[in-house]
């Protein structure tokens, strides 16, 4: 297998945004005396943010209308505070730096907004490694549709069959495989229980295997 590009998902792969997203909503639900079911939440991870409406679900469980503006601002404040203090996930910087050393191209493909993704990449000094970013702003369909990954590959000038995707969710793995790409899944604390057997390789952490070792494994 000839590898010419690595394409990263963002949320849950580069930065741990998914655990605080769920936990801050869980805490908000608990403050209203109801429970946000984890299995319900994880079913939407990695896909379109519009597929699950937490406000609507909260109102269904409580049986009354909530002040969405108040709830949203309070929850968002707690969420952003936690994300800002979160470190880049293990192995990510080494992998990104390694792409240049190995002569590979690097892309990021995310169902989140460009403002969110590029904002964090710039703030964390990671944009210098990235050749292309594709987000929900750039496509009609987000994951599990393959459009994001195909768009990223096209922007990098690399055929899909020569791209390796690094993902954390079932929706992301499905999108990568539909795009005809090799997929490495690295589940986080939110996605660890997902069925991701359709990934080509599962790792506990990018910190466990160097990029060079991964590429060597794929080539053999």
Residue 7: enclosing H or E segment and its boundaries? strand 5-8
- Residue 86 and residue 17 in contact, taking contact as beta carbons nearer than 8 Å: yes
Is 9 marked active-site?
A: yes
Phi/psi for 198 (5° steps) reads -80, -5
Phi, psi of 164 (to 5 degrees): -115, 125
Candidates 11, 21, 145, 168; catalytic one: 11
Q: Which of 9, 21, 145, 168 is catalytic?
A: 9
DSSP-assigned letter for residue 89: P
**Known catalytic residue: 137?**
no
3-state SS, 121-159, equals HHHCCCHHHCCEEECHHHCCCCCCCCHHHHHHHHHHCCC
Sign of CA dihedral 200, 202, 46, 40: positive
Active-site residues: which are they?
Answer: 9, 11
């Amino acid at each position: 297998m000839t590898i010419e590009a690595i394409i990263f998902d963002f949320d849950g792969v580069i930065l741990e945004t998914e655990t605080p997203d769920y936990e801050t909503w869980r805490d908000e639900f608990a403050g209203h005396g109801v429970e946000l079911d984890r299995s319900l939440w994880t079913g939407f991870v990695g896909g379109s943010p519009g597929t699950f409406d937490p406000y609507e679900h909260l109102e269904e469980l409580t049986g009354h209308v909530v002040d969405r503006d108040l709830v949203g601002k309070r929850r968002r404040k707690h969420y952003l505070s936690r994300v800002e203090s979160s470190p880049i996930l293990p192995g990510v910087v080494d992998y990104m730096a390694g792409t240049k050393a190995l002569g590979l191209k690097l892309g990021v493909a995310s169902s989140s907004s460009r403002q969110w993704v590029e904002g964090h990449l710039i703030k964390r000094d990671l944009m210098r490694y990235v050749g292309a970013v594709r987000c929900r702003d750039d496509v009609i369909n987000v994951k599990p549709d393959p459009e994001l990954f195909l768009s990223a590959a096209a922007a990098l000038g690399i055929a899909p069959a020569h791209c390796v995707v690094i993902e954390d969710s079932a929706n992301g793995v499905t999108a990568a495989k539909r795009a005809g790409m090799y997929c490495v899944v690295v589940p986080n604390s939110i996605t660890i229980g997902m069925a991701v057997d359709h990934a080509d390789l599962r790792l506990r952490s990018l910190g466990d295997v160097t990029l060079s070792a991964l590429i060597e494994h794929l080539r053999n």
